[in-house]
Amino acid sequence: MALFYLFLMLLIPTFSWAENSVIKAISESVADVKETVNDINESYEQCEALYDEIRDSECANAVFGIFGRIYLKLGVSFTERQLKFQNAKSKNDAFVLSSGSKPRPVYGITLSDSYFTDSNWGFGFGFDYFDDYAFNQVIKRADENVPYDLGTYSSMSVVSVSPSLFYTWGGDEDTPYRYGKLGLGVNLMYSAVKGTAYETELNTPANGVCYDAATEVFNGNILDVTSIGSVCELQRFKESSYGTGFKLFIIGGWEKWEAELSVSEYQHRGDGEYRFVTQQVLLGLSRKVSL
């Protein structure tokens, strides 16, 4: 028993030393973290001061004199996109995938508007990026479209440059912070698309069985929509291409905020088996941040 107490008395100082070492190590780590945070804040302030100096320099003013001010456009939108796939040779619809209407982020870069002399007509340039996923395949019969979950999907990324021509009102002495714009733009883009689908819209002798099965699903005669997979061949696609399109828009602005309603179409000009057309309807709210 005496040996046990002796061992305990020798062990207590060891625990105390270890505890002090841990506390010291934690204190040193906290101090290091604080020092690192202070260094980051100091670097950020230096970069911010340098950026302000560059932005106000003669070189930047010369660039802005050519292109105008550059703005970062950030916001949120409710957007619905349909990706239509057409046979490259016949131009007939093969299948349509829809991502549905849902909230999506808005991010892009835009240049300040330019005007023709003192008129209300002007032009502008914008740079946009979006990626999207669609998990519903649309079956269309007559004039009705119905989306179904057939286990197919598409993944798409698009980078576009959009020069536009518009007419504006407001923004004058009476309403200096409120304005409206109605315009038409051109989409010049690069896109990457991949996914799987069934050719439910291609009504040809070779694809008649698949087309008829999709019609039965559409009419409600087949309740298990995934049974299409037993008679239709699953198509896989992967394409990267350049393309063009258009954009029709109306914008209401207040200071740096803009509300937009637009309809766009993107035509992907690939060399594969399919020709892709993306149709988009967007209702969004965004704010322009000066760069």
Distance CA 117, CA 99 (A): 43
- Residue 8: per-residue pLDDT: 45
Least Cα distance to 139 among 235, 216, 224 occurs for 216
> pLDDT at position 39, please?
58
Of residues 140, 244, 135, the one with CA closest to residue 187: 244
- ∠169-171-176 over CA atoms, to 5°? 155
CA distance 104 to 97: 18
The single-letter DSSP state of residue 112 is P
245: nearest Cα among 275, 272, 274, 286? 275
Please answer whether residues 55 and 69 qualify as being in contact, where contact means their C-beta atoms are separated by less than 8 angstroms.
no
pLDDT 10s digit of each residue in the chain, 291 long?
555 444 445 545 554 554 555 455 556 655 655 665 565 456 546 655 654 655 555 554 544 445 568 889 999 999 999 888 887 777 788 999 998 888 888 889 999 888 888 889 999 999 988 888 999 999 999 889 899 999 999 999 999 999 999 999 887 766 667 889 999 999 999 999 999 999 999 888 989 999 999 999 999 888 888 889 999 999 998 888 899 999 999 999 988 899 999 999 998 876 777 888 899 999 999 998 887
The whole-number pLDDT of residue 79 equals 92
Q: Determine the Cα–Cα distance for residues 281 and 291; give it in Å rounded to an integer.
A: 28
The topology under which CATH files domain 68-290 is Porin (2.40.160)
Distance, CA of 74 to CA of 128 (rounded, Å): 11
pLDDT of the residue at 239: 86
pLDDT for the residue numbered 223? 83
In whole angstroms, what is the distance from residue 97 CA to residue 184 CA? 26
